[in-house]
A and B are shown apart, each in its own frame.
Chain A
Amino acid sequence: MGLLRAMGSWAIAQLQTIGQMFIFLANALYFIFIPPFKFRLLLRQIRFFGNKSMLVILLTGSFTGMVLALQLFYILRKFGSEALLGPGIALSLIRELGPVLAALMVTGRAGSALTAEVGMMRITEQIDALTAMALNPMRYLIVPNIVAALIAFPLLVSIFDLIGIFGGYLVGVKVLGISSGTYFSLMEDYVEMEDIMIGLYKSLSFGLIVSWICCYKGFYTGYGAEGVSKSTTQAVVLCSILILIFDYFLGSVLFL
């Protein structure tokens, strides 16, 4: 009986948290469309998500493309289809690896920092100060982050894809000896607009997930430095799991 009660309380607590998370998101999405709009804060957060994640994206993108070239070349050679290396790399990156890996990297770099920043604002009463000044923290703190992520994620994913394709080119053409014309011309033949749109939808979804979860975890952080540290870890873990789960479901829906 005791175990049943404990399970019941746990389930109710989880449902309450999920409900609170969706109310938080609905509130944030509502204020996106309600003026006054905070363009300066938005630009600052686009820089935070985009510009400051650039080095991580360039490094991970290029090495992902390079390792993909090595592995795909090894597989394709078994079937005598080395010429398909270019489209193989491009399709893998654009449809799948670009959005997922870029989102995971931005979660680690910017998402964790965002949770910590919002969490610190909570425990140092800066969020209370906004409320006490009759200013809505959603509008000042959360909305700029969500909109910035929706703008920055597709751009970062595009850069990840491009630099990945270039990394694949370096290994495929310069190291493994495929002709440059084959690498790019077949890519043009096989990559369609639909593939690019799938990548775009995924990056937008991941942008929303990362900004939502990271802001929520910071906004409702626990007490003291320990509370912020716990929230940051939870935000990164939850974002990473949700990115992979949504990647599968989005992939299934968009593929069908």
Chain B
Amino acid sequence: MIEIIDLHKSFNGQKVLNGVNLKIEDKDVIIIMGTSGCGKSVLIKHIIGLLTPDKGSILINGVDITTLDTKELDKIRERLGVLFQGGALFDSLTVYGNVAFPLREKTKLSKMEIRDRVIQALEDVGLKEMGKKFPAELSGGMKKRVAFARTLISEPAIVLFDEPTTGLDPVITSSIHELIKATHEKYGYTGVIISHEVPRIFEICNKVAMLHGGIIVESGTPEEIMNSMNPIISQFISGSHEGPIEY
């Protein structure tokens, strides 16, 4: 379980997170939505331990990760998987090398075992024949899928998705959504997804939270959020110019 308690973060005096409180149960898939620049990626970076909060705590299975040293934090990170916005594939490695990388570095599996798992992972994301290509030779959607395979190959208990479908066409977006759904069913991870694809992405999650003004203004099931009377949520989902959200 992930529990975020009263999380605050400022950059150069500008408050980005202003007391975020959120509870994510095991095996939940939660969408965190919010306007661009509202601090969604900052929130995810806190969960990975890439940023340290000014105040507040983040409990992962009861352990406050904001108080851990690098070594202890790495033990928590070993159970996390992160799909970064741009994929964050290593340019110098092939697709195969990228997907195999976590296994080569973090496990003692034999070359054959790694090969079998990488081939299976690439097959899961529909890129079995792409192993020898370099990231620069792939399209945006392919990069995301390779990054997806790399994230899931170590079978993490928690997967964080930072805008997994940004910049992709509707067909590829659907295929990524399907992929998240299928892999969640297969591996049973806890998923935290940052996305703007609302309400489309609601079909793959069981919880939604809206981040606005540095706090979670509302959270609930997709149905509850869709029927919410909160004007911020209504405006965000409808995409209207008029409302409390200022641009």
A contact residues vs B (CB 8 Å cutoff): 44, 120-121, 124-126, 128-129, 131-135
Contacts and interface: CB of A to CB of B under 8 A. Distances in A.
Contact of A124 (B82, B88, B102, B105): B88
Interface string B74-107: 1101101010111011111000000001100110
Contacts of A124: 86, 88, 91
Nearest to A133: B102
Nearest to B79: A134
Given A134-B74, A134-B78, A126 B106 contact: no
Contacts of B45: 128
Interface string B55-83: 00000000000000000001101101010
Nearest to A38: B105
B91 A134 contact: no
B48 interface: yes
Contacts of B89: 126
A131 B48 contact: yes
A125 B88 contact: yes
B90 A126 contact: yes
A125 B84 contact: yes
A76 B236 CA distance: 82
A67 B73 CA distance: 58
A133 B77 contact: yes
A129 B105 contact: no
A116 B78 CA distance: 29
A125 B102 contact: no
B84 A134 contact: no
Given A126-B90, A133-B77, A135-B106, 12 more contacts: A121-B91, A125-B85, A125-B88, A126-B88, A128-B50, A129-B82, A131-B50, A131-B77, A132-B77, A133-B102, A134-B77, A135-B105
Contacts of B101: 133
B224 to A, nearest CB: 31
List 8 tightest A-B contacts by C-beta distance, closest first: A134-B74, A129-B88, A134-B77, A125-B88, A132-B82, A125-B84, A134-B78, A132-B48
Contacts of B82: 128-129, 132
A22 B171 CA distance: 50
A19 to B, nearest CB: 18
Nearest to A41: B92
A132 B102 contact: no
Nearest to B70: A136
9 contacts: A121-B91, A124-B86, A129-B82, A131-B48, A131-B50, A132-B50, A133-B77, A134-B77, A135-B106
A66 to B, nearest CB: 38
B86 to A, nearest CB: 5
